[in-house]
Amino acid sequence: MTLSLTQALLGGASGSLVGFTLGLVGGGGSILAVPLLVYLVGVPDAHLAIGTSAVAVAANAALGLASHARSGNVRWPCALVFAAAGVGGAFAGAQLGKQIDGQALLAAFAVLMMVVAVLMLRRRDTGQDKTVRLNRGNAPALVGTGLAVGVVSGFFGIGGGFLIVPGLVFATGMPMLQAIGTSLVAVTAFGLTTAGSYAAGGLVDWSLAAVFIGGGVLGSLLGTRAARDLARRRGALTKVFAGLIVAVAIYMLTRSLGLGLVG
């Protein structure tokens, strides 16, 4: 794909938005990245958009991770167990996802997003003062959840943050701000695994990925700062997280079904 000046500018702006959402809610970066690349930047192939977004999201997640780590929001033992369990699942899921029709993949992705949003809204946030540690009680749940999320992450070509955050919360009872920071370890690992699979098939636009990553640097820093502010208001982060997912899911589902009917 030959990148025009307009597409480069739109790619940089999209990267800033993705970086902001990754810093703010851990998830949402890849949820936004794929539709932005397809519908705004104009990437013609859904699989090329998925592969390119996986590279960009992994890089932007690493930036957000560094910022959250400095703030003490990352529970490293839980993160490493979750990520290790999910990497194999992400590779298997990516292999399967490349065999599915692009528009069908986007439509299924949108439905899954809305289910997760509803589950998040039904849960009460117990506050931000609980420190979670890896133990025999939560380790099996972390391994099982990590494996399942990894498969879904690879299948849909996403970093998986919008699934990792609720997965960490449900497996450990982790407060939202800690779950967001901790999730970025797995988002980075899953994104790199998926990106490697798609890159091997020639389904990454490296020029666009570089522009996207560049735009994400500023967005990531701003998003992390906003997350700290929202964490002081109980439940606010959960509502922002779920609202973002629902809005993008409705848009993606409408566009995917519309394209399917026209085509």
**Band of residue 102 on the pLDDT scale cut at 50, 70, 90:** low
pLDDT digits (tens, 9 = 90+) for 18-54: 888 878 877 666 667 888 898 899 998 888 998 998 8
pTM (predicted TM-score): 0.74
pLDDT single digits (tens) 130-180: 678 899 889 999 999 998 888 877 777 665 667 788 889 889 988 888 888
pLDDT of residue 262: 37
Mean pLDDT of 183-191: 86
Distance from C-alpha of 263 to C-alpha of 258, rounded to nearest angstrom: 9
Q: What's the mean pLDDT when you consider all of the chain?
A: 82
Q: Is the pLDDT of residue 80 over 80?
A: yes
Residue 234: pLDDT over 70 = no
Report phi then psi at 123, rounded to 5. Answer: -90, 140
The C-alpha atoms of residue 143 and residue 152 are separated, in whole angstroms, by 15
CA distance 12 to 56: 11
Predicted confidence (pLDDT) at residue 211 exceeds the cutoff of 70: yes
- Report pLDDT for 84: 92
DSSP 8-state symbol, 2:
P
Tokens for 125, please give them. 């946030």
What does the pLDDT read at residue 75? 93
Task: State the pLDDT at residue 37.
Answer: 92
